[in-house]
Structure 1
Amino acid sequence: MDTIFTRGPSLNNRLTLALVLSVLLIFVDHKLEGFKSTRVYLNSLMSPIQYLANLPGLILSESAQRLTSKEQLLAENQTMSNQLLLMSEKLQQFDVVVKENEQLRSLLQAPRRQESRKMVAELMAVDKNPYSQQVVINKGAIDGVYLSQPVIDDSGIVGQVMEVGSTNSRVLLVADVTHAIPVRSLRNDIRFIATGSGSLNELYVEHVPHSVDIQEGDLLISSGLGSIFPEGYPVARVTQVVRDESRPFARVIVTPTASLDRLRHLLLLWHEDDDDGGTSDEIDSDIEPEDNVVEELEDA
């Protein structure tokens, strides 16, 4: 006959067993990648829930757009027309620079840069963890998204894909404390490593000797090293350089060029040697998000 009060394992034994199982699962997941496929399936199962959670915001945004006054629409139309005219003028100059660059490469017998595939993605959710800077986008494996794929916005590099589901993906921002990106100064081509600080508006450039020529206002662009981010995209601008001789290295603080706190539409980039076919969301390859770099070169 079963008793009402049964005596099981002690709390210490339960705690020890839980810790051992936790360490074992962490080891299998981190070293052996035993749960990689499981995470993909779970992410796919969560996709409908994320879309449903994002639905009220989309409905409110659509309703607000329908209630916009006619005067505001006319003003926005005029502003966009002016911006389109300015960008068209810059695009004309950019076409001339591209043709001159191709001629110089032909004379030097240097390899030409191939146009890379691009795809527009939209922000779905933002990670609420204060110690992690991640976002979720509405493109996944069925769209050809892959791990470590570079992501940019209209101002510069945003981050890279860290998890891929069937219909959505998780992007690790450059501001995350675990993220680092190789960069170089547009002014003098000196190479650095920019690391995340945990704050959306601040990055660190570490291990910079006091004798290195880096100044406030310098634009840092991706160097292309590491085979993750393509070369030439804006990453950050130097905002503070503190040279304290009592410390072995200078303290360099930079601000991301991308609007990490106001993300909405993003651009996924494919490597130049990727031969995958395009999709219906693929944009025209003649529109290059490197206009900021070209503008800096023109100003110089």
Structure 2
Amino acid sequence: MAFQTLERTPPPFFRQGPSAFTRLAFYAALSLLLMAMDARWHLVSPLRRVIATVIEPAVQIARAPGLALGAMAGYFESLREAQQDADAQRKANVQLALKAELASQLQSENASLRALLKLKQSVPIHSIAAEIVAQASDPFSRKLFIDRGSLAGVTLGSPVIDETGLLGQVTQVDPISSQVTLVTDRDSAVPVEVARDGQRGILAGDADATAGGMELRWQASDTDVRVGDILVTSGLDGIYPAGLAVARVTEVQRRPDAAFARVLCAPLAHVNGGRHVLVLKPLAPLAMAPAPAAAKRGVPAHP
């Protein structure tokens, strides 16, 4: 029995339009025609613009995730760069602050050295430049240390000055350093005179003096010393050269029941600061210097 095979062509009842090959050929020819016409007369451009306008929202929606990711990456990148710039600026600010502080310190030291140089040229006696290296830790004394000693020619009793006035006196000498007792120390005493009228007195350090730390002793109650007077060394003790500025009168206290007035003074030298000083040679040799107790106070043993 022969088997019946399926027909390769559909029955006439199911045929609908041209075949697939025919449709392919038609649309291919139509496409080529449209391409040729568009290339020559630009007939399809309006249609292309309409289609692009219609599908633009869909394009934007499709591009939105990529744009969002790019914007987020750019934000974090810019934030990282901003943080790096901020860190670099902070480091630069610290370096600039250090440089400014160093420049200010150097400028101050330069001004001090210039003043000392002019002072050294005007001082007619031998002087040694020195630098303050330490301050005594004893709160009840006013002493400091300089970086010059006997090897540099510093001797016991040498006056020490800065660019503004008398700072103190050398009371201990080592080979490479020396101890200086400041004029504000309670054991210091300097023969002075009033620059205005030449009236003499003894200027002593006074820890209880609230107007600067010094007091002009043994002045009669009717003394002519006035506030603002400048006190200079008298040169009568054989140690300090005459004419060195020491202090300024800040207060004069007179009481009817007291025979002496209390004259409070403030030192002109930078007793609480400064860095560079000059060490002067005493007027008298060491053999003619005062006795130890008097030398400590800066008063001659035999006036």
Q: TM-score normalized by structure 2?
A: 0.54
> After superposition, what is the alpha-carbon deviation per residue over 1:257-293, rounded to whole angstroms, capped at 9, x for unaligned?
001000311111124688xxxxxxxxxxxxxxxxxxx
Counterparts in 2 of 1:141 and 1:249: CA distance versus 1, 3 Å: same
| Structure 2 equivalent of residue 264 of structure 1 | 275
| Structure 2 equivalent of residue 181 of structure 1 | 190
Q: CA RMSD in A?
A: 3.4
Report deviation, 1:65: 10
Give the 3-state SS of the residue equivalent to 1:115 in structure 2.
coil
Report deviation, 1:76: 7.9
Report deviation, 1:68: 3.9
Aligned pairs, number: 185
Counterparts in 2 of 1:155 and 1:74: CA distance versus 1, 3 Å: closer
**Residue 237 (str. 1) matches residue 258 (str. 2):** no
| Structure 1 equivalent of residue 155 of structure 2 | 146
Give the 5 Å matches for 1:51-70: 68-69=98-99
The residue type equivalent to 1:162 in the other structure is T
The residue type equivalent to 2:250 in the other structure is T
| Structure 2 equivalent of residue 126 of structure 1 | 135
Give the 3-state SS of the residue equivalent to 1:262 in structure 2.
coil
C-alpha distance in structure 1 between counterparts of 2:178 and 2:196, whole Å: 35
Q: TM-score normalized by structure 1?
A: 0.55
Counterparts in 2 of 1:217 and 1:140: CA distance versus 1, 3 Å: same
The residue type equivalent to 1:146 in the other structure is T
| Structure 2 equivalent of residue 205 of structure 1 | 216
| Structure 2 equivalent of residue 18 of structure 1 | none
> After superposition, what is the alpha-carbon deviation per residue over 1:18-77, rounded to whole angstroms, capped at 9, x for unaligned?
xxxxxxxxxxxxxxxxxxxxxxxxxxxxxxxxxxxxxxxxxxxxxx99974469849986
Counterparts in 2 of 1:197 and 1:76: CA distance versus 1, 3 Å: same
- Does the 8 Å contact 2:223/2:261 carry over to 1? no
C-alpha distance in structure 2 between counterparts of 1:208 and 1:261, whole Å: 27
Counterparts in 2 of 1:206 and 1:77: CA distance versus 1, 3 Å: closer
Taking only the aligned residue pairs, the percentage that are identical comes to 33
The residue type equivalent to 1:179 in the other structure is S
C-alpha distance in structure 2 between counterparts of 1:176 and 1:195, whole Å: 8
| Structure 2 equivalent of residue 247 of structure 1 | 258
User: Which structure has the bigger radius of gyration?
Assistant: 2
- Does the 8 Å contact 1:133/1:198 carry over to 2? no
- Does the 8 Å contact 1:176/1:199 carry over to 2? no
Report deviation, 1:174: 0.7
Q: Could you list the structure 1 runs, at least 4 aligned residues long, displaced by more than 6 angstroms after superposition.
A: 64-67, 74-78
C-alpha distance in structure 1 between counterparts of 2:95 and 2:283, whole Å: 38
> After superposition, what is the alpha-carbon deviation per residue over 1:111-154, rounded to whole angstroms, capped at 9, x for unaligned?
xxx92111111111111111111111100010011000000011
Counterparts in 2 of 1:248 and 1:77: CA distance versus 1, 3 Å: closer
**Residue 155 (str. 1) matches residue 164 (str. 2):** yes
C-alpha distance in structure 2 between counterparts of 1:65 and 1:117, whole Å: 42
The residue type equivalent to 1:251 in the other structure is R
Give the 3-state SS of the residue equivalent to 1:195 in structure 2.
strand
The residue type equivalent to 1:242 in the other structure is Q
Gaps spanning 5+ residues in structure 1: where? Answer: 1-63, 99-113, 275-300
The residue type equivalent to 1:265 in the other structure is H
| Structure 2 equivalent of residue 214 of structure 1 | 225
C-alpha distance in structure 2 between counterparts of 1:172 and 1:189, whole Å: 26
C-alpha distance in structure 1 between counterparts of 2:102 and 2:206, whole Å: 38
- Does the 8 Å contact 1:183/1:222 carry over to 2? yes
